[in-house]
Amino acid sequence: MVRITYSPIKDLVIHEMIELSKEDLMRERVTPAGTMPLYWCDGILFTFSSLPMTDEIVKDYVNGKTHWVEVHFARMDNFVPVLSLSEEEYKTAMNIRVIDTGVSSLHKEFIKWLKDNIVKK
């Protein structure tokens, strides 16, 4: 019999937080190869970058601790599955997928903390 264990993240360490306009957040997801998706949860559009998986970071992760190097976010009250960014330099509208992560307990807790501690009222 296989034993299955669920071990969710218990500790999230954020090293840098930057609030941007929605348009600037969208612009940073445009790459030469196309666009990368954004996340949305409870009225906040965001993205994050993680640290490389060194031995120390893997040890933290296995022990329930994860690190986000930078979180960039913008307010967006309602979920929209695709956002369009039209700028002259792109010569066309760039579509950016948005993933609703409202089912993620980590993302929900993070957004609650963000609204209580960072987001200006």
Within a domain: 81:
yes
For 61-99, the DSSP string reads HHTTEEEEEEEEEEE-SS--SEEEEE-GGGSSEEEEEEE
Mean residue pLDDT across the chain: 92
Contact 15, 69 (CB under 8 A): yes
Q: Which of 36-50, 57-71, 85-99 has the lowest mean pLDDT?
A: 85-99
Within a domain: 4:
no
Question: Rounded CA gap, 29 and 34, in Å?
Answer: 8
- pLDDT, tens digit, 9 for 90 and up, residues 85-112: 887 666 677 899 999 999 999 999 999 9
Within a domain: 19:
yes
CB atoms within 10 A of CB 60: 16
Structure tokens, 75 = 């307010």
Q: How many domains does the chain have?
A: 1
